[in-house]
Every structure is written in C-alpha cells, then in structure tokens.
Amino acid sequence: MSASLRPRHRLLAALAVVSGMALLAASPATAGTLYHEQYRPQFHFTPAENWMNDPNGLIWYKGQYHLFFQYNPSGNSWGNMSWGHAVSTDLVHWKQLPVAVPQDDQEMIFSGSVVLDKNNTTGIGTRKNPPLVAIYTSYQKATGIQEQALAYSTDGGTKWTKYSGNPVLDINSPNFRDPKVFWYAPTRSWLMAVALSDQHKISFYSSPDLKHWTHQSDFGPTGATGGAWECPDLFPLPVDGDPRKTKWVLAVNLNPGSIAGGSGAQYFVGDFNGKKFTADDTGAYTPPSGTVLQDFESGSYANWTNTGTAFGTGPATGAVDGQGAVTGFDGQDFANSFHGGDASTGTLTSAGFTVTSDYLNFKIGGGTHPYDSDAVLGDEPAPTGEVLADFEDSTYTSPIGGWTTTGDAFGTGPAQGTLPNQQQVSGYLGNGLANSYLDGDATTGTLTSPTFTVDKKYLDFLIGGGYHAASSDTPTAVELLVDGKVVRSATGANVEALNWASWDLSDLQGKQAQIKVVDANTGGWGHLNLDQVVLSDTQAKPMSTETGVNLLVDGKVVDSATGSNSENLDWASFNTAAYKGKQARIQIVDANTAGWGHILADQFTAADKPALSTTQSAHWLDYGQDFYAANTYNDAPGGRRVMTAWMNDWNYAGNIPTSPWRSADTFPRQLSLRTVNGKTQLIQQPVGELKTLRGAGVRIPTTTVTDTTTPLRVHGSTLEIQADLTARTATRFGLDVRTGSGQRTRIGYDTSTGEVYLDRTASGAVDFDPTFSSTEHAPLALHGKALHLHVLVDASSVEVYAENARGEQVVLTDQIFPDPSSTGVDVFAENGTATLSRMHAWQLKSIWR
C-alpha cells in the first residue's frame, strides 16, 4: 500500500484522529438511495461511504469471513488511512462494522494481515480465549518510515488495541510494507512475507511469538519489475487436487508496470521450505534469433541520422550525467536520449532497409509517452489570427477587454510560469499564462472572457493541467459558451506541459461567445493551465510529446512502442509480415521535455518470431486494469483458498465517478492449481456461493452470426453468463454486455493474435481520466476449439473468466460506468462467421436488499 508515495495522491496537511465510525453514520445519501446509487455494485462489496483500497487482514473465524480494508473514514479520496471492517457468513452478503484500527497523530494504518494466535504465543490472550492479531504496516507521519506493528482483539474482532511494544519489525525504510503472516506448522513458527517495494523483493521472516522476527531470505527481483512491489501473499495448494503434490504460490502485486499498464498482480509457483521460496520459472529468457539490424556496438550511429541534442554524438555505454542506473541493454552500447537531461529532444533514424521477416524485435526503455498520429513532430508555428488572450500583462487584460475571475484559483493576474510547489510548467508562449495552481490544487475558481464574435473557423489555444472533463462534477476545463450554454470543452491530460488544442467553429459563425476556464476540482491534478487563445483560419495541431520507437513504411508510421517509465530496457516487437518487400525505416524519437522525457533503445533484430517482454512472460492473476492488492483468506474452512482484490487502478482511482463511496472489491475467487501442457497454472473461479444470488435464468439456443451483431434474449445490469463460442471463419467474435444507448462493453476473441480482449472504450462514462478508455488483451490459444466464457456483470464492473478446451485460463477484470438503461447482451462476429453453441445467463440479486 503506497499511495502516500505517489505524487498524484498527496497527504493531507493535518490528519484527524479517528476512533471509530458507526455503520452508516454521516452518510450523505438518504436511506432510500444508499446502496442503490448510480454505479453502485450490487453483488460486490463496497463500503457504505468513503474511500476504500487494499483488502487487508482476510481471515475466517467462528463462522464469519472478516474483511478488513484500507479506508478513509473522513472522505471519498485517499487519506487518513485506517482499517475498515466488514463480515460475512457466505462471502456474498456483507455487514459493515465500525472502523477496526484507526489512524492517529503518529501513524496511518497501511496494509497487513490477521491471524488467530490459537496457541497464545503472544501471551496477549489465553488458551481458552486466544487473540486475533493484526500485523500491519505503520506509516510514521513524521518521518515517512514504514514499520511493522501489531494490534489485537480478544472479543472476536470487534474491538482492537494497538500493542504497546510497537513496532515489532523496523528496518528504517520508507519502502517496507504489507506483511502477510501465517502459521507454518513444520517449524511451529509464524512466517511473514513483506515487500521491499522499491527493490522488487519479498522478504521472509520467522517468529515464535509475532513480536520478535528473524530474517530468513529474500525473493527477487524477477518477473515483472516495472513498478513498486506490494501486498505479497504466500500459500500452498495441491496440484490437480492431489494433496500429495503440493506447490506454493507467491502472489506479488505491483504498481505501475502490470500487463495492462497500471496496477496489477503477478504470481509465481514454486517450493517453500520455511525459509526460502524457489520459483519453478527461473525467469531466464532467450529471444528468437535473427538478423541484427543495429546493436550500436560500433561506438557510432554509423549511417543513422541524428537530429537535436538528446542522443548525443554517439551511443551511450550506460547512464549519462544526472540519470539513474540503466540496465537491460545488450553488449556495451545503446541509444540513450538523456544527454542534457529530460529537457533535450531529438530523433535517431535508420537508413532505409527492405523488410524480409515477420517481426522486428528490439529492446526499449525510458519514458511512457506514446506516439500520437494527430501530433506534429518538430516545431510548428503558432497560429495567426485574432488573439483573444496571451496573458502577458500583470492583470487579466486582453485585446478584447478584461477577463473576469471568481474564486481564488486564478489570482489577480496571470502566472509567470511555474507556481510554488508545482511541477515544472512548459509549453506556454512568452512569460505568462493562466494557471489555477495558485496555493495548490485545493483552490477553485473561474476565469471568463468578454463576449466576442465568432468570425473565424477555428479557436486555437494551449492547454495543460488536470484531466477532469466539463461533464464531471468537478471539472478542470476550458469551455466555449454560446447563449449561456457550453457548446465546446477541453481539458488537460494530467501533465504540466501545455499543448495545442483546437475547436472547429464552422457551425457557430456570427455567434456571440465567451470562453470560460473552470477549476472546480480540489483533488490531485485539480488545476488548469491556459495560454495563447487565438481565433484563426488555421487549425493548430498538437506537438508530439512522444518518447518511442516508430516503424516507418512509405514515410508513414505503421507501428510504435514506448517505454514504461523505467531505466531498464526490455524486449518489444513489431509484426512486420504485412510489409515484406517494402522499404522501411526505424525512427527513435524523443520529443518530450517533461518527466521521463527520454527513450532508450537497443538490439534491433529481424526475426521470424516475436520477442516477449518480461511483462509478457510473467504470470498474471488478471489481465484487466482493475485487479490489485490481491490477497487470500487465512484459515478458510475445508482448506479452501479464497482470494479477493481491490477492483481499481491507481492510474485513475481517485477520479472514478462514484459517490458517496469510492472503490469496490472483486467478487471472491476460489483458487486451485492445474497441470496444463506440463506446466502448473493457477486457476480461478467465482466462489460457489455466487449461485445463491441467481434469479431468473435463460438458455440461449445455438446462434450463428456472420459479419454482424445480434441481440440476445438476455437483459440485466447484474448478470452471470456462461457461454461457449467457436470461430468458423470470423477473425473476431464474442459477446457485448451492457449494451444500449450507444454503449457496449465487448468481450471478444481475436483469431489473428490468439487473444481474448476486453474493450471498454464505448462502455459509458470514460472521460473522467485520460488513462481509463482502454482495451485489455490476454493470450489464449484455442487450437480450433471453443472458447468458454464465464462472465460476471455488475453495475460498474465486468469480470471475465476465459478458458480453452485444454483447460488453460485467463481472467480479465475492468470497471465500467454505463448508463442504467444499457442492459442488453449481444453476440457478434467480424470478417466471417462464428457460433454461439451454448449460453446460460442468470439475473443476480442484490446483496443489499
């Protein structure tokens, strides 16, 4: 749990001491609407109100499943982190209880686990009444140090007392967190798995009494390491149901750097001897062989064309001045655009070559700034026309008169660049700009132009700052008003660098209009930057801010890749089969001057097979955007292993459009290990108790579709669907859920790539954050057989369990925010025919009724 370390999630200046909260106390919703608000999940756990993230302390005790969770008792954004608490007898219906372990003046309560100390090793309880013990990360507010601490309960988990001898484990680190503790019978001791998050390691400790801990070993770094490692879990499972063949599973969550790009959860299968975990998969990887086109080992760029200053005069042999350690390059040399720091820009372009292979493989690192086909690479002259504001004066005067302000965000006049405590602002012209970061994100206000006549085709302007759409409750947006109504709007992209935006005003000629700059947001990125507002006959195009590798064919970019905000180079691949025989060039581009504004590249190789990145090679619990901080229940009856996760992503967690609560948990999943093609794979299924929610069911007869989308006799905002689909000649096929009102969430299969995909780009509200609209992919070969789908649809989520005929499985979880009227289900096929051979769907009852 590391929100405090992320720049988008700022700690509150003052944190109140919270001692507890009644179940529904202080809820702004009325009794009639609570748990039935728009987007409120109806069979996934959510707190009645306020912010929630990681599930913590999962344990079964005396007939109840206890769910603790990271919780802000005081608001709907991250802060005041304490342990919330809920209980269930069936993993389906939940009762929220008062706050279990509250924050105080000294500490916030980060993630951890709960155990039953049945032998009273702590001496806190008695043999007849052993205590429940919570082991949590104590975040020290004064220093930022993360320590492991205890709290205990002797009344079954209702009231908790912090141990007077805290901390019980302290290595004086700000990146030491999320202990998972369990009893290890062979050594009659307690075991702890805890994350050294910035080192991409999991440390194992043992203890006789939960108070005194001895370090045993470390695991990692290996697997995916693109972000901080967090929330480990370690547990045994029988393979293929045989208790004589047991393997251990180590789950490691990381953010960012998941297979979907943001927060995610990977796992390792291996052996554990009480001291050390050894993974079956060593992580070793040999890329496909091929013809090396460029490895930069000559010590010069040879016939590659170098522009700008970013790439220096020749390849780098490691990190350059001011850069962190660089890893992952092959040989001695590689292309590195950090010469002069992130502020420098440039390109490195190969000579032309003939494409002869199916794939172009290469290594890439550096910043995450993707190629934009609408952007212009290189300098673009500012549009000419009637300047409505350039913000160069000390007050908000302009050629058309004075702009008026409300609130306190914009001050009495334009900013002269970057404001105090703000990240570096760039991209504005001259010396001044409108910047609503005055006194930070907490300030709000508006800035409105005088009325002007629309007499040119375009309105061009430079914009930066927060991405909070005009349609949201708390926008950071530039609006065009005609007759008092908003007819155009634009917002920033959560970057301080301003870039050109343009509105086509062809339909508004002769109209009287005003520009209104609105900052109504007090959270992260709750501000806006604006400059150089011009009525023009020329449409301004955004300037490229990419850091990436592009493949050019016939002078056009046909494929691109970007870094992952890491100084480690990893494999990437372009499919070049369609361009065989054509002339191509490779272009490495650094057009970004902001944070992570550089690119690393090496080892360009023409090959017959694609190279896989470490992220692609890792084993993922879930391929969706919204599965993080996954953890399992201790002491579940019958030895069952049940996992749940936070159904959100740190990329946009604070911006999802829900109130008075924010965030849900995934539906609980029962885990098992299955041998597939000689390898041990983790298998997940919704817990069987889901069946208790089934209402009316419907069976759909065999349906064949060709190049079309066909509605099915299924409707609902809360559904369970089981279906088998087979491609005949279709290149893509699958199901659409939550259809209607021009919306759909697509669960598909792409025969050309061999991937299941989950497309939420048209799922409903997607404009609240620039990273939300997305399509997720998961590899699953069908071998000409059927695709089996098990799908859970709720008011604001879709969970997809997909299997092939051999028993291989992938799971994808995404949040969606559709219109309540979008309740249809369709089957589709593209470029051919597909068959839906079996489908059974059930309406699911609300757990809140």
Spatial distance between the Cα atoms of 787 and 755, rounded to a whole number of angstroms: 11
| Strand extents, DSSP E, 131-175 | 132-140, 146-153, 161-162, 169-173
Phi (first) and psi of residue 616, to 5 degrees? -70, -30
Beta carbons within 8 Å of 707's beta carbon, 6+ residues apart: 829, 830, 831, 832, 833
Tokens of residue 404, six digits: 């008026």
Q: Which of 299, 417, 363 is nearest to 571 (CA)?
A: 363
Spatial distance between the Cα atoms of 146 and 149, rounded to a whole number of angstroms: 10
Tokens of residue 293, six digits: 């086109």
SS3 percent helix, strand, coil of the chain, rounded to 5, is 5, 50, 50
CB atoms inside a 10 Å sphere around CB 326:
21
Judging by beta carbons within 10 Å of its beta carbon (0-12, 13-18, 19+), is residue 555 exposed, middle or buried?
Answer: exposed
CB atoms inside a 10 Å sphere around CB 802:
25
Q: Which amino acid is at 516?
A: K
The DSSP call for residue 352 is P
Helix (H) or strand (E) holding 94: none
Phi (first) and psi of residue 513, to 5 degrees? -140, 165
Cα pseudo-dihedral 72, 73, 76, 79, rounded to 10:
-30
Q: What is the DSSP string of 420-441?
A: TTPPPPB--SSS-BEETTTT-T
Judging by beta carbons within 10 Å of its beta carbon (0-12, 13-18, 19+), is residue 101 exposed, middle or buried?
Answer: buried
> Residue 301 — left, alpha, or beta (φ > 0 → left; ψ -120 to 50 → alpha)?
alpha
> Residue 430 — left, alpha, or beta (φ > 0 → left; ψ -120 to 50 → alpha)?
left
With tokens 């205990």, the residue in question is 152
Residues designated as active site: 54
**Residue 834 · residue 702 · CB < 8 Å:** no
Phi (first) and psi of residue 799, to 5 degrees? -120, 125
Q: Which amino acid is at 485?
A: K
**Residue 68 · residue 83 · CB < 8 Å:** yes
Spatial distance between the Cα atoms of 565 and 552, rounded to a whole number of angstroms: 24
